Structures are given as C-alpha cells and as structure tokens.
Amino acid sequence: QFLKDTYPHPIVDHLKVARIAREKVWAIRGSDSHKEIALKIQDKHGSRKKRFKKSNYERLSNNKKKLEQPAKEVQLGLFDRNGI
C-alpha cells in the first residue's frame, strides 16, 4: 500500500509481450529453413551419445546381470610382485 502511489506503472504488459515473443520464436522454429539449419548444426556439434531410454524391464535385467557377476580382485598388495 505504501508504494502504490509512488511506484511507476509498468511501461508494457509483460505477459502480453512474452506471448507475442513466444509466437514469433515458434513461427521461426516451425519453418522448413530453420529445421534444415538445426539439423546441420546438430550433425556438426551434436552429441554422438545415444539418447534413447531403455525400458524399465531392460534396465532391471541388466542390473541383475551385473550384480550376479563376482567382482574381480584388481588391487595388489604392497609386496605382490605378480602384477609387475
């Protein structure tokens, strides 16, 4: 209540301007030329990591396989000469 009289009114309606900006961006992103450019950028700079997700069943079955295998002894003792 204190700042109501002294605080300036907004110059623009930020909700309306944000909606207009979103519409403009999506109009550009939906164009065919944008899709071609985006694919070229993805081919050149994109990650080569596979992005698909495994189903829960596959993920669980893989985890069980990993748990069933015995752990290998990799750390040598201080005076073991077999690893040298």
Q: What is the pLDDT of residue 61?
A: 57
Q: DSSP assignment, residue 1? A: -
| Tens digit of each residue's pLDDT (9 = 90 or more) over 39-54 | 888 888 887 776 656 5
pTM of the model: 0.40
The number of residues in the chain equals 84
Q: What is the pLDDT of residue 19?
A: 97
Close Cβ partners of 83 (under 8 Å, ≥ 6 residues apart): 76
For the chain, the domains span 11-46
Q: Determine the Cα–Cα distance for residues 59 and 71; give it in Å rounded to an integer.
A: 20
